[in-house]
Chains A and B, each alone.
Chain A
Amino acid sequence: MKTKYSLIGLLTAAGVSLAACAAPTAQPAQPAQPSEPAATQAAAPVEISLRWRTRPDNKEEADVYAKISDEVAQKLGVKLTYEPGGSETSSYQDVLRTELAAGTAPDVFWIPGTDIADFVQRGLLLDLRPYANATPGYSDSNYYPEPMFHLTYNPETGKPGEVLWGLPRDVSTFVLYLNMDLINEAGAPDPRELAKEGKWDWAAFKSTAEKVNALGGDIKGYGMNAWWGPYGAFMNAAGGGFFNAERNACNLNSKASLEGLAFARGLYDAGIAVPYGEDSEPPFRAGKVGMFQNGRWATPGISTVTFNWDVVELPKGPSGHMGNWLFWGAYVVNKNTKHPEIAWKLVDALTQADVQAQVAARGTNIPSRVGESVFAEFLKILPDKNNQAFLNGLADKPTAEGPLWTGSWPDFDQVMGAKVSDVLTGKLSVEEFGKTVCDEAGKAFKQ
């Protein structure tokens, strides 16, 4: 008896391990569908297959990318596998680096602009310049120049324009999302009107936030999230910034940068902002925050709220500019891809105007191509909203999100983020911050 059972058990175990043997040849295409007979797959001609990945912000966007993947695959006549990748909070880049180290990374992938230098300097990306030059109709000037500076930067000669590491997927910039119900209830003037009249400056912004905050209870006037973008915008608007003009030294201790930080701190000291470190998006979407600073990527989520919302550009700071960012990320090609030519074609196809329009139609981002027709198309998305605010942000001397070619952006960000957090939560004075921050953050630059 027992032996019989153990025999059956052994047979089962053997069967399972043999089933496991089925690795590449009988691999079912879709786990949810019954497997096709192995013979038909084996008989199919050897086809070029590429994997590519970009980070979607939600399920709908992932679906759009999957659809685009199929269309492009048809156009190029290759097999494409689209992988959604993690989200921002799930360490997308770390995972990618892990895979690159292990040699299992996709052929084409998207990375945020800040990571370009690190990937290039580790020798992980393919220079696409030869392929681009051979492509009719391609020009660097089809895209916003700020990202293209970094995407064509040659770290060996220190000059832009010589190489090509990838093409920008899209761009984005900050606006203030407005809860018009709260602003009206507070009797504050309409920020969109003020912006049109050119009166939308720091003072007007702060007064609006104060009025909304005065509604009391758990209502806050303003909210931003805890990362480098929002406070960086205040520093930029004051005429300062993270780095010097050559991007090879810390500029956080300049008078203007500190002025921007001090203004931001004032918002927290006065209690009119969602406490720093808390995610401001949930309370904004719950109707408890008057103005919420975020990029275009927040639009799809916010468009489901039940109150009246709109956007307005960032207020102008002492420098006379709003100090906005130009956020971007790029499709790049894995240096170890087996099909560099096709990979370039994929990158090129993914950044064509029609593809970008499909993605932009979701409301998540802004096409990275420039030109009046692109702008006109963009303004048609969510027509009742003030889309112009985004284009205004991009037009008012934005600072491009960018890597550090002569240093480590993650190291810099790590030091800066911790110190700014101390300032904005009242644990460190702006003066102390100014005295010490560049000693520590400066180490991120290669000496």
Chain B
Amino acid sequence: MSYRAIRAMRGLAIYAILSVFAVVMLFPFLVMVFTSLKTASDTFSYPPRLLPGEHVTIEMPGFERPLPLYNITAESGETKQMALVEENIRVGVFAPLDPAGRPNFNRTVIRRFGEVKLAGGAEGKQIVIDGQTAPVYEVESDGQIAEMIVLTRTTVGQFINPANPSETVLANVRLSQPVMRVAAHPENYAEVVNLLGFDRALTNTAMITLLTVIGQIFTSVLGGYAFARLKFPGRDQIFLLYLGTIMVPFVVLIIPLYQLMVAIGWVNAMPALILPWLYTAYGTFLMRQFFITIPKEIEEAALIDGASRWSILTRIFIPASVPALATLATFTFLYAWNSFFWPLVVVNTGNTRAQVLTLALNVLRGRASDSPNLILAGAAIAVIPPTLVFILAQRYYVESVTSSGVKG
């Protein structure tokens, strides 16, 4: 094999592996979107179908309601689309008796009890098989009357061929394959919004996210600049302290922060979701790292011209650090939008005024537990906006995730 062929093969293999993983990464989202467009009963079908569907029905003369269509395999082995006209017909599975008086399991027939009559006239005829008595029926089969016994009782449905209404079949409805067609139900989204005030939760989440992002950028830019460029006593000690706090898990703070909110009276209210998050050691660190790379000379020239620190920051540093700002904004956006633990503790589920999306989803999970289509529609409302933000900002975001990783 030539070198080029090997290269091509290698490239193909790489694409194949990457594509397999791409499917793995995307498939749950596809499930989410498509399931959210299904009807509730459609979600419970097995084998699972990705596309939302609905049962095809057919209008037939002589029937008031449209009849559902099924794929029915006739005795001849051929599969036809047939309409279900009657359900829950009580029938027996009858087996003929062979000369020895044993039932023949290979030639069973299904008959309604109205179609058969007991053999032996008024007193009835019974036989004893394996110690059990069974009544004997006279059953018509292949144009002949034969003596048969009931093996089991069950229920079936009656199907007719829409093209040829005289052709009817008795068959088990549950095991028959319904004829489906693709049909989306976007009204699920409207229903979810009505069900739980998702619109309010969406507004709240958007507002909380917006204010948190603005606030974090404000404090981080100022703090980052102070750490990067201004010398003042205690600076390095405080910076080390900040670095140390990146390690402290949030759960250590949850009880005191909750009690603080109780003391201020912010439980159940939006400020509790915004104000505690305006300080971020991570963001300050990120901005400081970025500001440090900006050449000192520009700043010194501006200082000599009599510019204040504030104008240096707003005119030189901020315009130069758009990528870092975009990163911080995206990080904060995702964090604020997706946070669950803190809202769960501090904002209660009964108060829709301060409800956020993740909490609304948690309530929805309980209140619509039997309608996965609605739950996943709610999940889509919560998942899609951050995904869009990420795709829009991904150039900055991915690249700076990258740089933070390399620099540690």
Residue numbers of A with Cβ under 8 A of B are 2, 6, 31, 53, 56-59, 83-92, 95-96, 98-99, 101-104, 106, 181-182, 184-187, 217-218, 279, 281-283, 285-288, 301, 306, 308
Contact = CB atoms under 8 A, between A and B. Distances in A.
Q: Is the interface of B mostly helix, strand, loop or mixed?
A: mixed
Nearest to A188: B153
Contacts of A86: 348-350, 362-363, 366
A264 B300 CA distance: 81
Interface in B325-354: 345, 348-351, 353
A96 B29 CA distance: 34
B349 A90 contact: yes
Contacts of B368: 58
Contacts of B88: 181, 184, 308
A364 B154 CA distance: 32
Contact of A59 (B350, B362, B367): B367
Contacts of A57: 367
A83 B172 CA distance: 48
Contacts of B41: 286, 306
Contacts of B369: 89, 279, 281-282
B46 interface: yes
B149 to A, nearest CB: 14
Contacts of A182: 174
A2 B155 CA distance: 81
Contacts of B153: 187
Interface in B287-323: 314-315
Nearest to B271: A20
Interface in B262-282: 262, 265, 267-268
A53 B350 contact: yes
Contact of A185 (B172, B195, B348): B172
Given A98-B345, A102-B261, A283-B44, A185 B363 contact: no
Interface residues of B, number: 40
Contacts of B365: 89-90
A402 to B, nearest CB: 24
Given A31-B200, A101-B262, A181-B174, A89 B268 contact: no
A87 B367 contact: yes
Given A181-B88, A187-B153, A286-B44, A102 B350 contact: no
B268 A185 contact: no
User: Which of B87, B88, B172, B367 is most buried by chain A, counting CB atoms within 10 A of its CB?
Assistant: B367
Interface in B39-95: 41, 44-46, 87-88, 90
A58 to B, nearest CB: 6
Contacts of A286: 41, 44-45
Nearest to B270: A20
A101 B265 CA distance: 11
